[in-house]
Structure 1
Amino acid sequence: MALKRFGVSLEDNLLESLDQYVEENGFANRSQAIRFLIEKNVAEKKWQCNHIVAGTIIIMYDQAKKDIYSKMITIEQAYKDVILSSSQYYINQNFCLHIVTVMGTAHSLTELSDRLTTLKGIKHGKLVMSRAD
């Protein structure tokens, strides 16, 4: 692998933001952070190209909210062709962790994740994907 070095100029405010990003995320240096951001951007572009990806949708929700679980199941039924498994974990009296393992086109998984994570009562939701083809 060839390694090429080159200088990059950034405005002061961007450089400060980069330094803050490096510190907050525990990168060893700016180069490591920039490499991570570039790789992340490349991966996200591949997802937009609709490659086959595998991933997990992680949802934290308040189980006291009426009908939230049944709404999630109804949505999942419409995407059963991309869902590999679905698990429910009771964290405490109020909160549930719902994990959906998925594989399919990036577009389908993103659509499913958006529908699940925007339900009223969802405290946190995130889709993590990796190219599988």
Structure 2
Amino acid sequence: MQRVTISLDESLAEAFDALSGEQGYTSRSEAVRDLVRKAIEARRVEHADGVCVANLSYVYDHHVRALAQRLIDIGHRHHDLIIATTHVHLDHDHCLESVLLKGPVGAVRALADAVRAERGVRFGELNLVSVSPNDDHTAPHDHRHGAHAHLTPGRG
């Protein structure tokens, strides 16, 4: 393990300590390691062309004319990417949907962009993790799946 030293002004250090404490970190080092991992993964995924797993979450106003049907239609056009969808009624006007996705990064991003661009969709976020398809069935998990491969996340 390498040691890295950083300098923070006092107010930034206090805010960082408060945030990392709220998130349950017991040391600055572990909090900084997680931030670095997230930044590296975000950059890697930003430029990835391979396969990913992802979660698209968004809030929408179900009173916007025909929006719910348009969202369903988008989902049906991309049925090959969608693993599951969860729908939650937040109040009398708004719904939260969380869509689990799997497929080529470009196609997943295009689906997310199409959903977020619909009038009445708010707060859309895509959490994307690039993965590598593999067929590694070595011990201790020696088993066969026939025609599908596992999806292994990148190590950061």
- Please, what TM-score do these two structures have when normalized by structure 1? 0.76
Cα 1:43/1:120, change in 2 over 3 Å = same
Q: Distance in 2 between matches of 1:19 and 1:130?
A: 31
Task: Verify the 8 A CA contact 1:22 1:28 in the aligned structure 2.
Answer: no
Matched residue SS, 1:132: strand
Inter-partner Cα distance in structure 1 for 2:12 and 2:70 = 40
Aligned equivalents of 1:93, 1:59: Cα separation in 2: 16
Q: In 1, are the aligned partners of 2:56 and 2:100 still within 8 Å (CA)?
A: yes
Shift of 1:40: 0.8
Partner Cα distance (1:50, 1:103) in 2: 13
Q: CA RMSD in A?
A: 2.4
1:132 counterpart residue number: 131
Number of aligned residues: 128
Shift of 1:88: 2.5
Larger radius of gyration: 2
Tell me if the contact between 1:22 and 1:33 (Cα under 8 Å) persists in the aligned partners. no
1:8 to 6, 9, 15: 6
How far off is 1:19 after superposition? 4.2
**More off after superposition, 52-61 vs 24-33:** 24-33
Give secondary structure in 1 for the equivalent of 2:85.
strand
Structure 1 residues 17, 52: closer, same or farther in 2, change over 3 A? farther
Higher helix share: 1
1:39 partner letter: R
Cα separation, 2, equivalents of 1:128 and 1:95: 21
Of residues 31, 34, 59 in structure 2, which corresponds to 1:33? 31
Counterpart residue number, 1:62: 61
> 1:85 Cα deviation (Å)?
2.5
Aligned to 1:74: 73
Counterpart CA distance in 2 for 1:119 and 1:36 is: 33
Aligned position for 1:24:
19
TM-score by length of 2: 0.67
Unpaired runs of 5+ residues, structure 1, are none
Output the CA distance in 2 between the equivalents of 1:74 and 1:21: 43
